[in-house]
Amino acid sequence: MSDSVKATGIKAVGIKDVAREAGVSVATVSRVLSNGPVSDALRARVEDAVRATGYRPNLSARRLRSQHSQTIGLIVSDIRNPFFTAVSRAVEDAAFQAGMRVILCNTDENPEREAMYLRLMQEERVTGLIFAPTRATLAQLDRADLDFPVVLIDRSAPAGRFDSVVLDNPQAAALLVDHLHGQGYRRIAGLFGNTSTTAVERHAGYQAALAAHGLHAEARFVPPTAEAAEAEIARWLAEARRSGAMPDAVMVSNSLLLMGVVKATRTLGLTIPGDLAVAGFDNEPWTELVGPGLTVIEQPVHEIGRAAMTLLFERLDDPERATRKVVLSGTCVARGSTGGVVELGPPPKPSPAAQGRA
């Protein structure tokens, strides 16, 4: 504060005064001053408040706000998962079109890494964050002191503070169960990741669909990696062989688990679908090339990324609006890995017409 202000007792006008005058958040004023993404109406309201209060921004602080306004944070759980690779591309494309940069961080579903990267986003003064958190971090995220808006992707949160874009996971899992049931499978095992709300929702859809068909659900949860899935399914099938309760199909909750299951069947010398039908999530190029092709749920990955960016920009334009949850549908892509079960029994007798042609 200058000596003249001290002597007269006049209080310097700050950015909070402008925000109060305009009836918006400090973050919104900051974006307007740094020429960030806001609506024309909101920009006009803030500029009127600047004139009314006589606010004069500090130039060095304004440069910091300018850096703040040009960066989007993106924290994903596993960049090796092709789903997150595709979503990241869609987010980056939308950010580039808006003249913004993206900081991409990978957590490997580790809450400690998530906490570290959330601190990084604060230090980098990101304009907003798109985040796929673990259940552990999600349970505490509502209490976090974040000065930027957050949009959740692939992970659901209770209604409240955060916008989100998710797949209709229960419905998608039920699609796979219904398809397997329609192909004649009755002993349908389920393998799910153990860190995310996504797997919990897919497990719920799997259980509900099996119950609707009068079938028993037998599921296991593992770390969401190909290695964990390969080891678990190998143990599971070995136990099932000894007990005489082999599943005839297995449904898995993400593409990395799907990869692990396929590797395990090869190691065990099993054929797909002859010994075990396999179905999972994410229509990646390799799923069409493995064996007879793998039945999968295709997620609208690019739409998920674009929708997340749209929600983020809407939140920046109107920080006080009600939170929104965008729920998108998946599509079942049926391939040879879930070919129908062949019923064993005596061969049918040829018809007289057929005997005549023989």
The whole-number mean pLDDT for each consecutive block of 10 residues of the chain, a chain of 358 residues, reads 34 79 83 75 90 70 48 93 92 88 95 95 92 92 86 84 94 97 96 94 98 96 95 94 91 96 94 96 93 95 93 87 93 91 35 34
Quickly count: other Cβ atoms within 10 Å of residue 97's Cβ.
9
* CA distance linking residue 326 with residue 76, whole number of Å: 18
Amino acid at 10: I
At 58 the pLDDT is: 52
Which 8-state DSSP code applies to residue 248? Answer: S
Express each pLDDT in 187-218 by its tens digit.
999 999 998 899 999 999 999 999 999 999 99
- Residue pair 36/127 in contact (Cβ under 8 Å)? The answer is yes
| Structure tokens given for 13 | 């006008």
At 7 the pLDDT is: 33
Nearest to 179 by CA among 300, 342, 297, 299: 297
At 146 the pLDDT is: 86
At 34 the pLDDT is: 67
3-state secondary structure of 142: coil
Q: How far is CA 50 from the centre of its chain?
A: 40
- Residue pair 128/95 in contact (Cβ under 8 Å)? The answer is no
- Residue pair 150/311 in contact (Cβ under 8 Å)? The answer is no
- Residue pair 32/41 in contact (Cβ under 8 Å)? The answer is no
Q: Is the peptide bond before 37 cis (omega within 30 degrees of 0)?
A: no
* CA distance linking residue 36 with residue 48, whole number of Å: 17
Quickly count: other Cβ atoms within 10 Å of residue 151's Cβ.
26
Which H or E run contains 66? Answer: helix 59-68
- Residue pair 193/223 in contact (Cβ under 8 Å)? The answer is yes
* CA distance linking residue 3 with residue 335, whole number of Å: 77
* CA distance linking residue 233 with residue 49, whole number of Å: 63
At 67 the pLDDT is: 45
What torsion, rounded to 10 degrees, do the Cα atoms 256, 95, 149, 108 define? Answer: 20
Going along 311-356, which residue ranges are E strands?
325-328, 331-333
At 356 the pLDDT is: 34
At 358 the pLDDT is: 30
Is the pTM higher than 0.75?
no
Which H or E run contains 249? Answer: strand 249-252
